[in-house]
Amino acid sequence: QYTRGTVTAFAPFDARADAEALRKAMKGLGTDEETVLTVLTTRNNAQRQEIASAFKTLFGRDLVDDLKSELTGKFETLMVSLMRPAYLFDAHALKHAIKGAGTNEKVLTEILASRTPAEVQNIKQVYQQEYEADLEDKITGETSGHFQRLLVVLLQANRDPDAGVDEALVEQDAQVLFRAGELKWGTDEEKFITILGTRSVSHLRRVFDKYMTISGFQIEETIDRETSGDLEKLLLAVVKCIRSVPAYLAETLYYSMKGAGTDDDTLIRVMVSRSEVDLLDIRREFRKNFAKSLYQMIQKDTSGDYRKALLLLCGGDDD
């Protein structure tokens, strides 16, 4: 269904030849990282799964285990992430976000705000199959308050379908949000959660315009003033994704590299998970909003084989 990725099916494709090339690259002393990164970033996920299967058939070895033992650091993390079956990618990221001490709210926010209802349903099913656990139970066990409630609403994946927009309901929702925030002493968070978590995308885009007309504020400004902490971040992420998922993910990538130090986990997660989905759109939004290209920022912010692989995934410069 997606055609805006930077990584597409490689042709002519030969899983056995690729498996042999990877084995040769990792066999004996030293590793030929160039071959590893070139093969894995230029095949799509379905093809990588075929390579892994051929690798096991030919050599009786697990490709992912070999990658883990031969590679190190961020480069290893990136290559192993590329080998994760696409349908499992988000479920795995969520599992890690709620595992062990402390919860990674950033990952919960990014994934649940930006995925479509159909994708969320799929993530829940895969999570149940792979980990024999209910994702919603796991998330509610690790979160609390209004942040938890909005996550649960998003996990229901029951957003109204995009049918015709009812202008009377648009007006009503905009007024309700205005009264729940700017016009109220304190904030009625529940109204924000219900409206932002359940209305259709086209309806909400109209609500945001109407809200601006009524209040003189962008909805983001109100959320910023009226809420705080994890709830504020999640509400803002939902609003940004309603406006444009690629723009939201471009911003996520930008902030993963801006300033001192790089948030490599976020950089890897977004680059890998969107490489076959909408990375071309994310690149365009990045260039438009940050006055530099994603390619240039990756080039400046990373190094070595890790950089080479990310740049191949990026698929080109926009300057």
For 236-251, what is each residue's pLDDT tens digit?
999 999 999 999 999 9
Residue 260 has pLDDT above 90, yes or no: no
CA atoms within 13 A on the CB side of 25: 22
Residue 64 has pLDDT above 80, yes or no: yes
CB 195 within 8 A of CB 177: yes
pLDDT of res. 182: 84
Q: Tens digit of pLDDT for each residue in 129-169? A: 999 999 999 999 999 999 999 999 999 999 999 988 999 99
Q: 């438009």: which residue's tokens?
A: 288
pLDDT of res. 1: 57
- Domains of the chain plus CATH, in order, are 15-85 (1.10.220.10), 87-156 (1.10.220.10), 167-243 (1.10.220.10), 245-314 (1.10.220.10)
> How many Å apart are CA 174 and CA 222, to the nearest integer?
12
Q: Tell the burial category of 41 from Cβ atoms under 10 Å away from its Cβ (0-12, 13-18, 19+).
A: buried
